[in-house]
Amino acid sequence: MESLIFIGLPIVIIAFAIALFWAAGLPKIKRKKLSFVMIGLGLNVITTPLALFIGVMATDSPTSTTNNFWAGFLFIQGIPLLILIIGILKWFIDRGKNK
């Protein structure tokens, strides 16, 4: 059962990220100008397990605090989160100009 979790969960995460990257090219998503947001979501899905792993490893010391977890997590997840935030802001700005 444990091997199913260790093998199956990464496969599900990778498949979900590939589906997000693929969905970014669909005509409905392109028409709404959400492709950049979908790519940002895909990057976040791909990097989240690694970011959680690094964050947990940062709290291995007995004197670690929650801040150490967030520092390790954001060290890995920072750039994909910035890409997602920029994509969402760009989408809101473009949506506001079209109205």
Domains held by the chain: number: 1
CA distance 34 to 58: 35
Q: What is the pLDDT of residue 99?
A: 67
Q: What is the pLDDT of residue 43?
A: 92
Q: What is the pLDDT of residue 13?
A: 87
Considering the entire predicted model, what is its pTM?
A: 0.79
For residue range 57-72, what is the model confidence (pLDDT) as tens digits?
A: 888 888 888 899 899 9
For residue range 7-43, what is the model confidence (pLDDT) as tens digits?
A: 788 888 889 999 989 998 889 888 888 889 999 999 9
Provide the domain limits for residue 11.
2-98
- Identity of the highest mean pLDDT range in 48-52, 63-67, 82-86, 92-96: 82-86
Query: Does the pLDDT of residue 55 top 80, yes or no?
Result: yes
